[in-house]
Amino acid sequence: MPQPDLAPNRRSRNGCANCRQSRVKCDGEKPCCTRCWKKGWQCTQENLTLKWKSDYHSRGLAFGREGVWGKGTQSKKNPSVVSAGEQMWHPTSTVYPWSFVNQDISTLKWLYDEERSPGHPSSMEISGISPKRDRLGRAAQTPLWYTPPVFPYPQAQKHAIMVEYFIDQVCPRTTSSLKIASPFTSVVLPFCLNGSVNGLVALQALAACYWSQSNPAQKSTAVRLKSQVLAGLRSRIAADPSYTISPDPEVLVLMMMLSLYDIVDQCDKGWVVHLQGAKDIIRLRRKKLPSQSHCPVTAFAELFFAFQDVMGRTACAKADLFGPAFWDQNDRAVNPWMGCSPELVSILFSILDLSRARPQMHSNLAQEVDFSMKASALNRRLGSLVQVVAVPEDCALQAVADLKRLACTIYLHCALYNGEPSTPIVRSLVRQILEQLSVLLKENRIVNATWPIFVAAVELGPADGENWPDPITGELVCGRALILRALATMSQSTVSSVARVRSVIETVWQSRDSDLAGGSSRRQFSQSNDWEWYVVPLSDALSLV
């Protein structure tokens, strides 16, 4: 039986707007179709209209070809209109007025999901970054003053996530205090976010470098950002040599960030180059701009370099660069970033200077008496030192300050009285440090304790059989195992080169074991004391902050 003729297709997919609206076929002539030419209409193609599926469903209409029978298909029922009582509303994150100012989708990931249900990760955790946590592992709240940064310059916006990483992951590792904000948060960060383009890029470079320790994929980003900072600093100095001693403290901030970058990266001599350059700049600035010493950014930068100098000299025994003027011998208030008081650093500075004078005595009785009197005076000052914490409840900061006082006492006996691991006072002090270290590890509060761990480790005798409870397993372990556990924990909670510190410690242990196995020490034919023989040759350019 012949099939009936089908009605001709009167519509065209490429018809003009007028023909499609009238539902008639358009011949598609250009620039004007025949129908529009005859009627004198303006012939235009139909504009693209976006149709939203949710709008159709809310009106009870089919969207597209939904509900249409076709060959090999099954019918689809039109969704019924959802009543107001059946609608389910989901909570959303709070949107603030500044949320869409100079921002893109990447920066919106910075907002914490404050209303998410327990157990669900935040947007930062999904991105591979865990939120800042306290020493007990609990998620810390975002500070009320903090908002996602808005950068008017594209070079900083490109790596904006690094600023978030700096705030959440780097800053908490620069202080032992649980109560007082790190100066990197309260001083350096506001300075970089308020006009210092190079400072902000340097901050991002440091964050990327620290992130690359656990995620090697960030290494290339860190190197590119560091190169950008160095190129900008060089061009700025070449164009304006007075920039280095201008009232703007940006150059000191850049050198501070570059020093930390090199310390975190490999802790080689690169950071010492920045330290020496900063010394010259600070000396010139103090001579030309004495009134600028009260600037918070400048004051912290000077404190940073001076403290790095003192702590590094304890290991390598080199001459000082910054002098004693930075340390008030009557200030017993514990600095949250240093983890000790300026008075303790002043005593340590005097020990360093006196130890450098010891080899020049040459059996001169008058010099030996003078040396002995000065050493006794320092020992008495250290024994009567009381370091004051601003917030008495800040137990973590107080514990680190006590550890550094014990470590300073060990160093005094080794540097001035030729103490060694078998000396009773040194052995007793090392045990006190290990005892406190075991408690801090168990409570997960070990931050900013690199120097006391280093001092106790290099003066731990190979024959010391004292055992300590492992904070993880609870089993009794020797002192060396406890120190290695502490270093492994420190690698996740400090901005320093723990790998370089551990390498020096292990080399010292191997040298002591070798001498003990040989039955005699090669040091008996040398005028060097125990610290100068085992520690100093290995510790050039070692950062212990």
Above 90 in pLDDT, residue 103?
no
pLDDT of amino acid 131: 44
User: How far apart, in whole angstroms, are the C-alpha atoms of residue 300 and residue 291?
Assistant: 15
Phi, psi of 388 (to 5 degrees): -105, 125
Domain boundaries, the chain: 11-42, 154-322
Above 80 in pLDDT, residue 286?
yes
Residue with tokens 């005028």: 527
User: How far apart, in whole angstroms, are the C-alpha atoms of residue 164 and residue 289?
Assistant: 34
Phi, psi of 163 (to 5 degrees): -70, -40
Strands 467-469 and 476-478, by their bridges, are antiparallel
pLDDT grade, residue 87 (50/70/90)? low
DSSP-derived secondary structure for 338-373: TTB-HHHHHHHHHHHHHHHHGGG-TT-HHHHHHHHH
The lowest-confidence range among 144-153, 229-238, 392-401 is 144-153
Helices 270-288 & 296-316, crossing angle to 10 degrees?
A: 130
User: How far apart, in whole angstroms, are the C-alpha atoms of residue 468 and residue 476?
Assistant: 5
CATH 4.10.240.10 fits 11-42, yes or no: yes
pLDDT of amino acid 276: 94
C-alpha 185: how far from chain center: 11
Cβ within 8 Å of residue 337, ≥6 positions away: 174, 175, 182, 183, 184, 300, 303, 448
Environment class of residue 114 by beta-carbon count within 10 Å: exposed (0-12), middle (13-18) or buried (19+)?
A: exposed
Per the structure block, which two tokens stand in for 143? 């500070």
User: How far apart, in whole angstroms, are the C-alpha atoms of residue 397 and residue 330?
Assistant: 20
Q: Could you give the percent of the chain with pLDDT greater than 90?
A: 45
Above 90 in pLDDT, residue 363?
no
User: How far apart, in whole angstroms, are the C-alpha atoms of residue 130 and residue 146?
Assistant: 17
Above 70 in pLDDT, residue 146?
no
Sign of CA dihedral 491, 497, 502, 505: negative
Q: Which helix (H) or strand (E) holds 477?
A: strand 476-478
160-183 pLDDT tens trace:
889 889 998 999 889 888 888 899
The lowest-confidence range among 132-146, 215-229, 486-500 is 132-146
Per the model's pLDDT, the better-predicted residue between 21 and 209 turns out to be: 209
Q: What is the DSSP letter of 266?
A: T
HSE value, Cβ hemisphere, 13 Å, CA-based, for 330: 0
Above 80 in pLDDT, residue 192?
yes
Above 80 in pLDDT, residue 53?
no
User: How far apart, in whole angstroms, are the C-alpha atoms of residue 226 and residue 208?
Assistant: 10
Q: Which helix (H) or strand (E) holds 404?
A: helix 395-416
What is the mean pLDDT of the segment spanning 286-315?
A: 87
Above 60 in pLDDT, residue 513?
yes
Q: Could you give the percent of the chain with pLDDT greater than 70?
A: 75
pLDDT of amino acid 151: 53
Sign of CA dihedral 522, 528, 532, 537: negative
3-state secondary structure 171-234: HHHHCCCCCCCCHHHHHHHHHHHCCCHHHHHHHHHHHHHHHHCCCHHHHHHHHHHHHHHHHHHH
Beta bridge partners of 16: 45
pLDDT of amino acid 38: 85
Above 80 in pLDDT, residue 455?
yes
User: How far apart, in whole angstroms, are the C-alpha atoms of residue 20 and residue 470?
Assistant: 81
What is the mean pLDDT of the segment spanning 45-56?
A: 66
Residue 520 contacts residue 514 (beta carbons within 8 Å): no
pLDDT of amino acid 268: 84
Q: What is the pTM of this model?
A: 0.73
User: How far apart, in whole angstroms, are the C-alpha atoms of residue 364 and residue 144?
Assistant: 64
Q: What angle do CA 544, 493, 531 make, to 5 degrees?
A: 25
If you average pLDDT over every residue of the chain, what do you get? 80
pLDDT of amino acid 82: 47
Residue 111 contacts residue 93 (beta carbons within 8 Å): yes
- Residue 316: CB atoms within 10 Å: 15
Cα torsion 233, 234, 238, 240 to 10°: value is 10
pLDDT of amino acid 125: 42
pLDDT grade, residue 18 (50/70/90)? confident
Question: Residue 147 region, left (φ>0) first, then alpha (ψ -120 to 50), else beta?
Answer: beta
Per the structure block, which two tokens stand in for 215? 């995620």
pLDDT of amino acid 246: 85
Above 80 in pLDDT, residue 80?
no
Above 60 in pLDDT, residue 484?
yes
Nearest to 419 by CA among 384, 456, 452: 456
Q: What angle do CA 314, 316, 319 make, to 5 degrees?
A: 80
Above 80 in pLDDT, residue 73?
no
